[in-house]
Each structure stands twice: as structure tokens, then as C-alpha cells.
């Protein structure tokens, strides 16, 4: 839930104030090591970002935006919620902020990396793939797409409980995120998988992909 903006449901977005949102994502991952640890890992996988152009789709309240700008990244952060952006601007005044829904994302230039943290699961398939297509067009040839999002352990009582919890908390599209970790979406949009990492006892995933010919099988071993 890094940002509740992005589908055509503005009422869903409006339901999450910045304070409630920050408290919820903090509390839901606290027993699993904390959301901060997942953000740390995402930033580590992004590598040195000083001077690099980063597009953050669904920036929410700007927790990652702030950390990226503090490391010297040139961040363009997008969200569809004015209240979320207000909080994000206060946290990361050095970033450039764009208020728009992801489904009508404009061309914002060329970027070294595109970051989608806890947002793609909110989008129906057709919108999600439109967003991934747009991200691919804005990535430099050697750029990377980074997705931090929900996952679920493969089996057991805890896995069933977590899936049930997410089904009550999130929109129905979260089931597609849990089903294949966006493999079909990435393949349909011409990305090559670079790596996939399980986080938070299997309740989150960190995916890195690159724009390419689609020749690399998404199920191939991590590089």
C-alpha cells in the first residue's frame, strides 16, 4: 500500500489519510521484521543512486522518496492522492512531484530506474500493464524496474491467514499479485526478469526487471 492512488477508484484512494496509511503499513509488517527493513533491501538492490534519475510510481507519503533524495537521487515522484503528496513534499522537498493517476501517466522523460512500491497490486490487469508499458518507454536501455509488493507464503495456516487478511484489506486485484508475482505482466510488456527475492517471511517480494526482447524466461534462475 505504498500509495492508494492508482486505479479508477478515487474513493478508494481518498479513504486512506497519510496518518492512517503510515500507521497501517507500519503495524502490518512489524511482526515480519518491519517495513523499514524491506525498504532498506529495495534501496540496497537499487545500488548507488547519487545523480541518477529515479521515477517513483505511487510514492504515497514519501518514505522512500526522502531516502532516495538524501542519497543524491534526482527523484520524480508520482501519486494520485493530493493528501499523500502533501506529506511526501514535506518529507522530501528536493524531489519533483507529479499529481496524476497512474492510468493516465504522461511521458516524464528518461530514467535510470523506475520504482513501484506496494502499488501495482491495486491496479486491474489492463491498467497495470499500461503502467508497465509506460515505465518501459521511460526507462533507459540499461535501466531497471524495481517492484516491492505483497506476496504470500506457499502453504500452511499462516499463508492462508495472510491471504485472507490481504483479501479484506486490499482490492480484488491483489490476488493476481499473489498468484504469480507479476510474471505474466512482465512477460506481456516485454521485460526480462533480473531477480526475485522473498522478504518478510514470504509476505513480500522484491522483483527487478529490465526492458528487453522478452527472450529471457521469467522462470529462469536469478542472476
Q: Coil, strand or helix: which one is 57?
A: strand
Q: Which helix (H) or strand (E) holds 56?
A: strand 53-57
Asked if residues 196 and 206 have their Cβ atoms less than 8 Å apart, the reply is yes
For residue 146, what is its C-alpha cell? 524495481
Q: Count CB-CB contacts under 10 A for residue 1.
A: 22
Amino acid 156: pLDDT: 87
Asked if residues 114 and 140 have their Cβ atoms less than 8 Å apart, the reply is no
Reported as a single tens digit per residue, the pLDDT across 160-200 is 999 999 999 899 999 988 988 899 999 999 999 999 999 99
Q: Is the pLDDT of residue 9 over 80?
A: no
The values of phi and psi at residue 193, to 5°, are: -70, 135
Q: Is residue 141 part of a domain?
A: yes
Q: What's the mean per-residue pLDDT of the chain?
A: 88
Considering its fold, how many domains does the chain have in total?
1
Q: Is residue 2 part of a domain?
A: no
Q: Is residue 103 part of a domain?
A: yes
Q: Is residue 36 part of a domain?
A: yes
Q: Is residue 223 part of a domain?
A: no
Segments forming the whole domain that contains residue 97: 10-210
Cα–Cα distance for residue pair 113/155, rounded to 1 Å: 33
pTM, 2 dp: 0.85
Q: Count CB-CB contacts under 10 A for residue 212.
A: 14
CATH code assigned at 76: 3.40.50.150
Amino acid at each position: 500500500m505504498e500509495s492508494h492512488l492508482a486505479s479508477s477508484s478515487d474513493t478508494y484512494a481518498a479513504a486512506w489519510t497519510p496518518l492512517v496509511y503510515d500507521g497501517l503499513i507500519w503495524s502490518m509488517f512489524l511482526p515480519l521484521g518491519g517495513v523499514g527493513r524491506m525498504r532498506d533491501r529495495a534501496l540496497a538492490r537499487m545500488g548507488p543512486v547519487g545523480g541518477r534519475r529515479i521515477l517513483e510510481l505511487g510514492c504515497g507519503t514519501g518514505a522512500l522518496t526522502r531516502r532516495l533524495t538524501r542519497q543524491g537521487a534526482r527523484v520524480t515522484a508520482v501519486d494520485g492522492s493530493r493528501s499523500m503528496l502533501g506529506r511526501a513534499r514535506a518529507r522530501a522537498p528536493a524531489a519533483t512531484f507529479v499529481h496524476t493517476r497512474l492510468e493516465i501517466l504522461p511521458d516524464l522523460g528518461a530514467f535510470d530506474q523506475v520504482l513501484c512500491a506496494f502499488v501495482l497490486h491495486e491496479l486491474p490487469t489492463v491498467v497495470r500493464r499500461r503502467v508497465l508499458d509506460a515505465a518501459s518507454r521511460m526507462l533507459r536501455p540499461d535501466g531497471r524496474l524495481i517492484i516491492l509488493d505483497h506476496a504470500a507464503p506457499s502453504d500452511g495456516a499462516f499463508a492462508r491467514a495472510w491471504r485472507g487478511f490481504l483479501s479484506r484489506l486490499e482490492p480484488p486485484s491483489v490476488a493476481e499479485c499473489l498468484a504469480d508475482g507479476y510474471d505474466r505482466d512482465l512477460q506481456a510488456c516485454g521485460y526480462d526478469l533480473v531477480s526475485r527475492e522473498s522478504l518478510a517471511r514470504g509476505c513480500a517480494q522484491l522483483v527487478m526487471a529490465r526492458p528487453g526482447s522478452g527472450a529471457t524466461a521469467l522462470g529462469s534462475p536469478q542472476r
